[in-house]
Every structure is written in structure tokens, then in C-alpha cells.
């Protein structure tokens, strides 16, 4: 569960403290910008967490603070509060905001309006100078496995929960790799085994700092390692030592590259600017295999990276669990240019259900096409349930951000945990434009409880004609 005052979204964190006095709104800005004091621009923090201080001009009644990560690669802060000269960003695990080895820029502006002033209000004055600070480095030193123990032999082949510890409570975002050999090679032309490579928010997993594998193969040794995730303008840190666990029984006589079912044909697409921004549809699945019905690639703000978004559907008559989408990029000569996998936003698809997926990749420069495939697990990783969703439509605010707001009602008959909402945008021809997801507020919902959501799109939504909203939570 996240702090109640915090609404964690994919690229923005909004805090609104609105204890304001009544009065008459002003028509235009009248106050000069605040003067920033600390931390001094360009400084490196001594700990994860920061107290930002400034001097407000006389007459200020409210201030707006924005704190942005390098390349917009992570959560940000955007808040409006009553006039004060400082704000403290708590370190994790109080707030899961700042990441290690990352530059953050911040600025402040004020208004003298006596009633609440939204961002678009004309009473806001100009922004202050934009200052920056850098968070401390992270390290893999001291990371240890909790379960399974190194070298353990499991009792069966059902999915296992990998758990680990880190000596610093402020580290919460991790990369985890599991493979059938110690090379952990994701290149499809040189790899000798599968690689599961996942990003894990250790503060929200149950239990903390954990990841559940797909179903395992009998008679197989698995190798795994982990490290703190560093992104933005930071430098990746070395991996932890490699740990192992094994499954009982005799190995299959003809092992496949991964222990997942054979992928369905998901389709392919070209690089943006060659044959358009999208890819072709998949051919469909059968016997419990989902299909990728739509996908597209568009550039990310981070140089060299691209977003891949799309939608997976269950065309079968049985439930589909934990759909995993794999995207492979190719150079013009057919050589591989990169590959990555991710799970769909929803972990359970009933017959004819659909859900979106989204991933950020950095394929080799000059790639010309990509292919998308999807697999599914043999059983549910969690006891997923789908509550009712009611959205109030889509609106664009004064800053050009598209908001899809509404409520989730837990009508599943029991308590839901980690309730999240996924929104898919389509153009007039029914093609997927973009996919975003957010947790509801609150995200833990008792039976009959209602949670609010505000899913935002900061780009790549122009031309949308249809919005699809779905939600999912899980039971302990």
C-alpha cells in the first residue's frame, strides 16, 4: 500500500494540500518568483531524501513545486500547497519517489490568490530559477537471497517466489534476471538459454523485494541475480553474485528455449518513418494462448529509446494467466537489434477479455523492423479479480495533459489489494495509440469500497477517438 497522501502514477506524483481561505480571484499574476536557497544547485545529496528551501515574496498565499527526474525517467512531484518556505521529500520507504544516482531539477512559483489556484490560474507568477541536485549512488554490495536458499532443490515445478534483501531501506527498485545458464545472454542469435529480465518495485510486492517466476521445468538448474535499478542519467551498477536453485525430476528430452508455452504469432511492424507508426495484427491464438491484436512503436523522450505499446486479447474459451509479451528488433540485414519482455497490465484474461501492455526499450540504432509475440502461464500467479470501473470521460488540462478519471467499485465480494487501472486509447480506425496504467486511490479496497483514479497521458494521444478502461486487484 502506498502512503494515503500520495497518488503514484507512471510519470507524475501529485500532492494537493488545500487548506485555503476564501476571497476574490485575481485576473493576472502580480508576484515575483521565489528565490531558491537549498540544496545548492548541482549538489550531491548525502542521503535519499531532501529538504528544499526558498524565500517567498511578501503576499504569497500558495506555492507550486515541481521536481522532475532526468529525462523524465521516473516519478516526479507536482504539488500546490499553502505558503511556506520549505518542503521535505521523504526518503523511501516513506515515499517511493526518488531513485539513486539520478539528477533532479526543481522550481517554485507563487500566487497571492486567497482561494485555491489550479495550475491554469492566471494569478500564478513566473517560475523561479531551475536548480538541480543529484541523489546518492546505489550499490549491489550486501544484497543476499532470502528464498530459495542458494543451491536449494525445490519440491516441485510450480512458480517460486524469489526474495532478497538489501542493506539500505532506501533502495526499492530492482532488476532481476533468471536464466538457464550463467551467461544471461538475451541476444537471440547467441543465447544458449532463456532469460527472464524484470523490473521490480520491491516496496509494493508481496512479500517485499520479491518476484514470482513463471512455471518451472523439471530437472533444471536455474541461475538468478539482482541489482538496484539505476536509470535517467545514472550509471548501472554491477550485478549481485549469481545464485542457483534446482527443480526435481528428469529434464525434458527436448527442452525449449523458455519454459513458457510456444508463442502465438503476434505480428510485426516497421520503424517509425518507414511504413508508419504501427504494426500488423496477430493471427490469433488457440488452446489457452492469447494473441497480440495491435501494437505500435514511437520514440521516447530518452535518446535512443522507444516505447512499444499494444493490446493482448484472449480469443479462447478458457482463462489466460500472466500473458508475457516479447518484442524483438531487427536490423535491415536481419541481424537482431534487441529484445525485451514484459507482462501485460492485467494478469488474468477471461475469454474475450483484452488488456494493454507497455515497455521502454533501447534497440540498436538503425533498426528497421520488429516482431511481437505473446505467451501465457499455466496457472494464475495471484488470485486476480476484476472490479467494476466507471470513467467520467477524457479531458485535456491547461498543460496539455490528457486525464481519464473515474472510480473503481470493489464488487468482487472480498478485499482487493493493489487495485490498478489500465487505459487504452484508440484512433478512429480502432488502432491502439497509447497505453497507461495507475493504481487507484486507495489501492487496497474492502468489499463494496470505491477507489478513485486519474490516468494521465502527457504525449502520444493526439487523434484518439475511443477510450477503454479496465481494472484488476488481487486477494491475499
CATH of the domain at 31: 2.60.40.10
Q: Are residues 124 and 190 in the same domain?
A: no
Strand order in the sheet with 243-246: 152-153, 243-246, 221-228, 173-179, 195-201
Mean pLDDT of 333-350: 82
pLDDT tens track for 78-101: 889 999 999 999 988 888 888 898
| 3-state DSSP assignment of residue 313 | strand
Higher local confidence (pLDDT), 109 or 195:
109
In a domain, 254, yes or no: no
Last residue of a domain, one of 246, 272, 303: 246
| 3-state DSSP assignment of residue 232 | coil
In a domain, 115, yes or no: yes
**125 phi and psi, to 5 degrees?**
-85, 180
Least confident of 130-134, 188-192, 238-242, 327-331: 188-192
User: Nearest to residue 186, comparing CAs of 340, 314, 45?
Assistant: 340
**17: pLDDT strictly greater than 70:** no
Q: Are residues 149 and 227 in the same domain?
A: yes
Cα separation, 224 vs 219, in Å, equals 17
User: Nearest to residue 391, comparing CAs of 421, 415, 368, 363?
Assistant: 421
pLDDT tens track for 57-82: 999 999 999 998 887 777 788 889 99
Cα separation, 353 vs 355, in Å, equals 7
Q: Are residues 163 and 233 in the same domain?
A: yes
Cα separation, 108 vs 301, in Å, equals 23
Q: C-alpha cell of 368?
A: 528497421
**336: pLDDT strictly greater than 70:** yes
Q: C-alpha cell of 122?
A: 492566471
Q: C-alpha cell of 257?
A: 528455449
Q: Are residues 64 and 177 in the same domain?
A: no
Q: Are residues 347 and 420 in the same domain?
A: no
Would the pTM of this model clear 0.85, i.e. be above it? no
The answer to whether the CB of 99 falls within 8 A of the CB of 70 is no
Q: Are residues 109 and 200 in the same domain?
A: no
In a domain, 253, yes or no: no
Any idea what DSSP says for residue 337? Answer: E
In a domain, 122, yes or no: yes
Q: Are residues 238 and 284 in the same domain?
A: no
Judge residue 427's burial from the number of C-beta atoms within 10 Å of its C-beta, 0-12 exposed, 13-18 middle, 19 or more buried.
middle
DSSP letter for each residue of 164-211: EE-S-TT--EEEEEEESSTT----TTT-SS-EEEEEEETTTSSSSSEE
In the chain, the number of structural domains is: 4
pLDDT tens track for 310-320: 888 888 888 88
Task: Please report, rounded to a whole number, the percentage of residues in the chain having pLDDT higher than 90.
Answer: 27
The pLDDT of residue 244:
94
pLDDT tens track for 238-290: 899 999 999 988 765 543 333 333 333 345 555 443 322 333 333 233 335 77
| Cα angle, residue 231 at apex, residues 330 and 364 outer, rounded to 5° | 15
The answer to whether the CB of 85 falls within 8 A of the CB of 55 is yes
Q: Are residues 306 and 367 in the same domain?
A: yes
The pLDDT of residue 26:
44
Query: What is the CB neighbour count within 10 angstroms for residue 159?
Result: 18
pLDDT tens track for 4-15: 333 333 333 333
In a domain, 139, yes or no: no
Q: Is the peptide bond before 156 cis (omega within 30 degrees of 0)?
A: no
Q: Are residues 303 and 351 in the same domain?
A: yes
In a domain, 1, yes or no: no
Last residue of a domain, one of 356, 377, 398: 377
The answer to whether the CB of 106 falls within 8 A of the CB of 65 is yes
The answer to whether the CB of 464 falls within 8 A of the CB of 424 is no
User: Could you tell me the residue range of the domain that residue 387 belongs to?
Assistant: 383-475
Higher local confidence (pLDDT), 12 or 334:
334
Q: C-alpha cell of 138?
A: 546505489
In a domain, 252, yes or no: no
The answer to whether the CB of 435 falls within 8 A of the CB of 362 is no
Cα separation, 28 vs 18, in Å, equals 21
Strand order in the sheet with 417-426: 383-385, 466-475, 417-426, 432-439
**450: pLDDT strictly greater than 90:** yes
Higher local confidence (pLDDT), 443 or 448:
448
Q: Are residues 334 and 296 in the same domain?
A: yes
173 Cβ neighbours under 8 A, 6+ residues apart:
99, 199, 200, 201, 202, 228, 229
Judge residue 213's burial from the number of C-beta atoms within 10 Å of its C-beta, 0-12 exposed, 13-18 middle, 19 or more buried.
buried
In a domain, 242, yes or no: yes
Residue 20 — pLDDT band, cuts 50, 70, 90?
A: very low
Mean pLDDT of 116-132: 91
By DSSP bridging, strand 77-82 and strand 86-89 are unpaired
The pLDDT of residue 298:
73
DSSP letter for each residue of 402-422: EEEEEEEE--SSS-BEEEEEE
The pLDDT of residue 243:
94
**117: pLDDT strictly greater than 60:** yes
Q: Are residues 216 and 317 in the same domain?
A: no
Q: Are residues 272 and 232 in the same domain?
A: no
pLDDT tens track for 198-240: 888 888 787 889 998 888 889 999 999 999 988 888 888 889 9
Residue 18 — pLDDT band, cuts 50, 70, 90?
A: very low
User: Nearest to residue 194, comparing CAs of 326, 348, 378?
Assistant: 326
**137: pLDDT strictly greater than 80:** yes
Last residue of a domain, one of 246, 278, 309: 246
pLDDT tens track for 374-419: 887 655 556 788 999 988 888 888 878 889 999 999 998 888 888 8
Amino acid at each position: 500500500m502506498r502512503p494515503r497522501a500520495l497518488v503514484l502514477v507512471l510519470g507524475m506524483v501529485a500532492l494537493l494540500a488545500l487548506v485555503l481561505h476564501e476571497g476574490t480571484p485575481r485576473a493576472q499574476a502580480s508576484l515575483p518568483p521565489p528565490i531558491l536557497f537549498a540544496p545548492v544547485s548541482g549538489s550531491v545529496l548525502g542521503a535519499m531524501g531532501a529538504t528544499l528551501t526558498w524565500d517567498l515574496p511578501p503576499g504569497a498565499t500558495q506555492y507550486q513545486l515541481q521536481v522532475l527526474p532526468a529525462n523524465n525517467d521516473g516519478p516526479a512531484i507536482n504539488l500546490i500547497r499553502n505558503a511556506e518556505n520549505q518542503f521535505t521529500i521523504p526518503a523511501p520507504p516513506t515515499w517511493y519517489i526518488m531513485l539513486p544516482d539520478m539528477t533532479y531539477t526543481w522550481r517554485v512559483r507563487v500566487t497571492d490568490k486567497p482561494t485555491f489556484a489550479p495550475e491554469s490560474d492566471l494569478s500564478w507568477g513566473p517560475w523561479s530559477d531551475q536548480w538541480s541536485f543529484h541523489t546518492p549512488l546505489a550499490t549491489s554490495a550486501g544484497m543476499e537471497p532470502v528464498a530459495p536458499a542458494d543451491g536449494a532443490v525445490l519440491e516441485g515445478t510450480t512458480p517460486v517466489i524469489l526474495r532478497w534483501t538489501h542493506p539500505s531501506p532506501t533502495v526499492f527498485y530492482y532488476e532481476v534476471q533468471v536464466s538457464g545458464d550463467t551467461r544471461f545472454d538475451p541476444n537471440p542469435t547467441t543465447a544458449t538459454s532463456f532469460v527472464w529480465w524484470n523490473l521490480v518495485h520491491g516496496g509494493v510486492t508481496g512479500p517485499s523485494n520479491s518476484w514470482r517466476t513463471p512455471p518451472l521445468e523439471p530437472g533444471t538448474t536455474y541461475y538468478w541475480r539482482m541489482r538496484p535499478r539505476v536509470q535517467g542519467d545514472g550509471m548501472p551498477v554491477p550485478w549481485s553474485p549469481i545464485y542457483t536453485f534446482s527443480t526435481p525430476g528428469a529434464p525434458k528430452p527436448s527442452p525449449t528455449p523458455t519454459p513458457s508455452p510456444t508463442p502465438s504469432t503476434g505480428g510485426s511492424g516497421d520503424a517509425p518513418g518507414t511504413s508508419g507508426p504501427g504494426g500488423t495484427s496477430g493471427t490469433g491464438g488457440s488452446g489457452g494462448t492469447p494473441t497480440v491484436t495491435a501494437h505500435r512503436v514511437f520514440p521516447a523522450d530518452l535518446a535512443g529509446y522507444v516505447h512499444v505499446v499494444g493490446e493482448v486479447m484472449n480469443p479462447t474459451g478458457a482463462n489466460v494467466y500472466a500473458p508475457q509479451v516479447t518484442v524483438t528488433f531487427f536490423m535491415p540485414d536481419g541481424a537482431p537489434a534487441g529484445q525485451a519482455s514484459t507482462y501485460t497490465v492485467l494478469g488474468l484474461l477471461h475469454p474475450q477479455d483484452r488488456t494493454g501492455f507497455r515497455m521502454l526499450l533501447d534497440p540498436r540504432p538503425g533498426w528497421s523492423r520488429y516482431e511481437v509475440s505473446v505467451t501465457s502461464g499455466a496457472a494464475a500467479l495471484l488470485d486476480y479479480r476484476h472490479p467494476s470501473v466507471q470513467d467520467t470521460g477524457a479531458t485535456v488540462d491547461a498543460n496539455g495533459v490528457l486525464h481519464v478519471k473515474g472510480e473503481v467499485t470493489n464488487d468482487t465480494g472480498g478485499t482487493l489489494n493493489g487495485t490498478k487501472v489500465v487505459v487504452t486509447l484508440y484512433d478512429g480506425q480502432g488502432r491502439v495509440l497509447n497505453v497507461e496504467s495507475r493504481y487507484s486511490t486507495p489501492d487496497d479496497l474492502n468489499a463494496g469500497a470505491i477507489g478513485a483514479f486519474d490516468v494521465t497521458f502527457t504525449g502520444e494521444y493526439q487523434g484518439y477517438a475511443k477510450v477503454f478502461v479496465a481494472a484488476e486487484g488481487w486477494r491475499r
